[in-house]
Amino acid sequence: MDTTPEDQGDAIRNWPHRRIRCGTAVRSLPSAAGSLVGLTVEMGDQRLGLDDIMARCRIAGLLILKRGAVAVERYGVGGGPEILRTSYSTTKSVTATLVGAALQDGAIGSLDDRCDHYLPQLLVSAYAGVTIRNALRMCSGVAWNAAEDDHADAGRLQQALASRRAGSVLQMLCGLPRARPQGTVFAYATVDSCVLGALVAAATGRPLADYCAERIWGPAGMEADGAWALDAKGGLEQGGFGIAARLRDLGRFALLVLENGEGADGRRTLPPGWRDLAGQPDCAATGFGRLHPGSPMGYGYQWWVLPHGPTGLHAGAFVATGAFGQYIYVHPAEQVVIAIQGGWRQHYDTEAEAMTFALFRAAVRALRSSPGS
């Protein structure tokens, strides 16, 4: 589903999808007492304003909330308040949240249940015996080559989707070999997230978009329907990618996670303590500095976890990331969430990513000293 930055807003309409219906009650996002319109970001010896950051990072939409109130809402390239933009891999964090909801509802008995208990077709695959928890950690042990070419596994995933056959992705991942014992090594694999999405649908007996509407879109107080891409018309939502939503509704999703699954109507969507469980590493394989050479990040349950660093600025913070500059940042201690819809020209941009994380730092620091925060 790769698209250009300019047509990302329309991409979901050109692909089989299912609507994620919003509820009747919309969560208000009032203006914060302290605005960040004059926010500046330090990059080396430069000090950049929001206009510079928006332009250099090709940000389509930027929303910064403090205690549920809007400190910044800005739109840029290809963006707008009513546009549904594809979220790419930030969808993985929504899928993980639905695992938590299914656990809270009793549809999933335990995170240590085997995935094949809910998806029997996995019994004859490398996923046989893999637990839900290890799939959430990206520690399934199933071999996955994420290189962007037709011969790598990611290319095979694209080919499966292009076939427009229902079940094509599950069929493809059932043919993957095992690389290592589960739980021992982190390996970022979109297919782990696809397994989780299919598992939630099987456990609840409902299409994933419908369950998402009930357990996330409604309780979070979304203002508009979202959409979730399918593998075929009437087929299966893909747990690793494919949600399209408005910027403000991404912010509301982040607030639902921040607030530990307490919906606007007071009903609990997630198990007590889910936010802190899902938002932090819980094993050696996903610990800080263990994921990739040179990276200080950790990993939770389909969330990247920011290292604390000497200042402790990001202590407890975690972030969902997606191709072309999509981010959902959650900082429980500071009560800050940030949603970014990006329009990068390529899948990954090192400079834009560095500027984005500098923006997170600057926003958290500024909101600490802002009036009313």
Q: Do 74 and 61 form a contact (C-beta atoms < 8 A)?
A: yes
Distance of CA 100 to the CA centre of its chain: 14
Tokens found for residue 202: 């099987």
For residue 152, what pLDDT is reported? Answer: 63
Total number of domains in the chain: 1
Kindly report the backbone phi and psi dihedral angles of residue 103, in degrees, each rounded to the nearest multiple of 5, phi listed first: -65, -45
Pull the structure tokens for residue 287.
Answer: 């610990």
* Residue 287 CB-density burial (10 A; 0-12 exposed, 13-18 middle, 19+ buried): middle
Among the listed residues 34, 66, 7, 53, the one whose alpha carbon sits nearest the alpha carbon of residue 343 = 7
The parent domain of residue 299 ranges over 5-369
pLDDT of residue 310: 77
User: Could you give the CA distance from residue 155 to residue 182 in angstroms, rounded to a whole number?
Assistant: 24
Rounded distance between C-alpha atoms, residue 127 and residue 174, angstroms: 7
| pTM for this predicted structure | 0.94
Residue-level pLDDT at 3: 46
Q: What is the CATH number of the domain that holds 220?
A: 3.40.710.10
Q: Tokens 């493809």 — which residue?
A: 172
Whole-angstrom Cα distance, residue 239 to residue 196? 6
Report phi then psi at 281, rounded to 5.
Answer: -60, 145
326-331 and 304-305: which strand pairing? Answer: unpaired
Backbone angles phi, psi at 300, to 5 degrees: -105, -130
Q: What backbone torsions phi and psi does residue 20 show, to the nearest 5 degrees?
A: -105, 105
Instruction: Report the alpha-carbon distance of residue 369 to residue 34 in Å, rounded.
Output: 9
Q: Which amino acid is it at 220?
A: A
Structure tokens at 173: 């991942």
Mean pLDDT by 10 residues, the chain (373 residues): 50 82 95 84 90 95 96 93 95 98 98 98 97 98 75 74 84 93 96 97 98 97 97 93 97 97 88 97 97 95 92 94 97 97 94 95 89 54
240-251 as b/e: b if 16+ CB within 10 A: bbbbbbbbbbbb
The pLDDT of residue 335 is 97
- Reading the block at residue 85, the tokens are 């933009």
Residues in Cβ contact with 246 at an 8 Å cutoff, skipping those fewer than 6 apart: 81, 82, 83, 84, 222, 223, 224, 226
Contact call for residues 16 and 169 (beta carbons, < 8 A): no
pLDDT of residue 11: 57
Amino acid at 5: P
What torsion do the CA atoms of 90, 93, 99, 103 make, to the nearest 10 degrees? -150
Going by C-alpha positions, the residue among 236, 153, 248, 168 that lies closest to residue 196 is 236
